[in-house]
């Protein structure tokens, strides 16, 4: 059976492995030992094997996920001996395929992937570049894979892995803004997240109308939705979101 090994067992490895196991992935999962606490936890609870060192992970894996922080990635890869036919999966943000290739002594296939922590809940929209059948199926166990055939798309799309985080801050702001004597916090939280999920599901299901058009159709003249949207727009509330996206786009494209 095809084995997948993780070099770097931090937050990403934790949520991804939990997600794929909960989603039914049954293949061998091997782990580097450096973060002993997380590796042992995954071994005990999610049917993984902790190997004695990084090279031992590589020696028994067909697919190797490099999941260190960006600053450690290339140095870690330089210390490893790959075999022809293996596939390197990099989840490391901001390091492109050509940079990864220069760190490898043996030329192997390289695939980039960007799972987010909703993988743990089986709901990560995971960008992949370039497409690879095993990698696509693996990340489908913890959500849905979205393969792209251009690394510029991947870099631009990776910005949304950060926007994903900002959504939580927006949820928190909305919960704090609507909770109070008239609405208990847990009910406010359920409604905030439920509305966000419902809006996303409707927008995904509405192929021939954009989210902006859906908003326009709801917020017609004289509605409470229009009143609030007008205030947000008068205060340029969406402008800093655009600016934050543009900032990250520049950073992620810095190496182009």
Ligand X SMILES: NC(=O)c1ccc[n+]([C@@H]2O[C@H](COP(=O)([O-])OP(=O)(O)OC[C@H]3O[C@@H](n4cnc5c(N)ncnc54)[C@H](OP(=O)(O)O)[C@@H]3O)[C@@H](O)[C@H]2O)c1
User: Quick check: 69 binds ligand X (CB under 6 A)?
Assistant: yes
Q: Which of 161, 175, 192, 248 binds ligand X (CB under 6 A)?
A: 161
User: Quick check: 12 binds ligand X (CB under 6 A)?
Assistant: yes
Closer to ligand X by Cβ: residue 53 or 219: 53
Q: Which of 30, 50, 93, 111 binds ligand X (CB under 6 A)?
A: 93
Using Cβ positions, the residue closest to ligand X within the complex turns out to be 10
Residue 248, Cβ density class (10 Å: 0-12 exposed, 13-18 middle, ≥19 buried) = buried
Q: Which of 8, 125, 143, 157 binds ligand X (CB under 6 A)?
A: 8
User: Quick check: 9 binds ligand X (CB under 6 A)?
Assistant: yes
For residue 130, whether the previous peptide bond is cis, meaning omega lies within 30 degrees of 0, is yes
Nearest distance in Å: CB 125, ligand X: 12
Interface segment toward ligand X; rule CB under 6 A; list 2-10, 173-181, 187-195, 209-217? 2-10
Lay out the sheet containing 63-66: strands in order across. Answer: 49-50, 29-31, 4-7, 63-66, 87-90, 109-114, 124-129, 143-147
Q: Which of 61, 117, 124, 188 binds ligand X (CB under 6 A)?
A: 117
Are 24 and 84 contacting, i.e. CB atoms less than 8 angstroms apart? no
User: Quick check: 64 binds ligand X (CB under 6 A)?
Assistant: no
Nearest distance in Å: CB 174, ligand X: 22
Closer to ligand X by Cβ: residue 12 or 87: 12
Closer to ligand X by Cβ: residue 151 or 178: 151
d(CA 139, CA 141): 5
User: Quick check: 124 binds ligand X (CB under 6 A)?
Assistant: no
Nearest distance in Å: CB 53, ligand X: 8
Closer to ligand X by Cβ: residue 11 or 186: 11
Closer to ligand X by Cβ: residue 8 or 132: 8
User: Quick check: 10 binds ligand X (CB under 6 A)?
Assistant: yes
- In the complex, the residues that contact ligand X under the rule CB under 6 A are 7-13, 32, 34-35, 54, 67-70, 72, 76, 91-93, 114, 116-117, 161
């Amino acid at each position: 059976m095809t084995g997948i090994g993780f070099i770097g067992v931090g937050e990403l490895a934790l949520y991804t492995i939990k997600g794929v196991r909960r989603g039914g992935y049954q293949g061998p999962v091997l782990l580097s030992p450096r973060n002993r606490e997380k590796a042992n936890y995954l071994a005990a609870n999610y049917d993984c094997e902790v190997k004695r060192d990084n090279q031992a992970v590589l020696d028994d894996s067909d697919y190797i996920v490099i999941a260190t922080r960006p600053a450690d990635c290339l140095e870690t890869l330089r210390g490893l001996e790959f075999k022809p036919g293996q596939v390197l999966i990099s989840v490391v943000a901001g390091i492109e395929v050509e940079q990864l290739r220069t760190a490898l002594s043996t030329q192997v296939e390289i695939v980039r992937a960007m799972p987010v922590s909703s993988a743990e809940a089986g709901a990560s929209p995971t960008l992949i570049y370039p497409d690879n059948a095993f990698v696509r199926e693996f990340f489908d166990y913890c959500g849905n894979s979205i393969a792209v055939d251009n690394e510029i798309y991947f870099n631009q799309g990776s910005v949304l892995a950060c926007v994903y985080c900002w959504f939580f801050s927006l949820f928190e702001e909305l919960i704090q803004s609507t909770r109070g004597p008239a609405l208990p916090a847990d009910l406010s939280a359920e409604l905030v997240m439920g509305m966000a999920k419902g809006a996303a599901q409707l927008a995904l299901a509405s192929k021939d109308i954009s989210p902006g058009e859906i908003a326009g159709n709801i917020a017609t003249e004289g509605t409470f939705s229009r009143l609030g949207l007008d205030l947000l727009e008068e205060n340029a509330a969406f402008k800093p979101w655009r600016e934050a996206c543009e900032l990250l786009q520049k950073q992620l494209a810095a190496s182009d």
